[in-house]
Amino acid sequence: MKIYWKRLKKITEEITNKKVEIIMNIENSNLRGAIQSNHKIIIYLNMSYNKSINDIIKTLAHEITHYLLQDKEHTNEFIMKCDEVEKLIKEKYKGGEKWNFIHKIVILLCCVEQ
């Protein structure tokens, strides 16, 4: 299975409107991923848990949602937004309709500016 890392990086940068660095490691912990943000976003992926493209997209969406909502809690709002971000990443990664994707990014960005 080939994973298009540059495509994933570009998608995450479009959604967050920031530079993104994706770092992969193999860690003996129960964390699938983590995120840090300052002038750029760093997303850590624990490859012990992220075995498929679906796992990777799910973890990226989870971490990006923490950034977008600026919240570490897993509320109902978080879960709904995470599902939305995951769907958005999948659509774009698999070549979803370009204009539909841009429209959804605008909606996501409006959430960040509020």
Structural domains of the chain, with CATH: 5-113 (3.30.2010.10)
Tens of pLDDT along the chain (114 residues)? 789 999 999 999 999 999 999 999 987 788 889 888 888 999 999 999 999 999 999 999 999 999 999 988 999 999 999 999 999 999 999 885 454 556 566 666 666 555
Whether the full predicted model's pTM is greater than 0.85, yes or no, is: no
pLDDT of residue 95: 82
Q: Which two tokens stand for residue 15?
A: 């959604």
Report helix, strand and coil shares of the chain as percent, to nearest 5: 55, 15, 30
In this predicted structure, what is the pLDDT of residue 91? 93
* CB environment 78-99: b (16+ within 10 A), e (fewer): beebbebbbebbbbbbeeeeee
pLDDT in the model for residue 65: 97
Instruction: Note the pLDDT of residue 107.
Output: 63
Task: Give the pLDDT score at 98.
Answer: 57
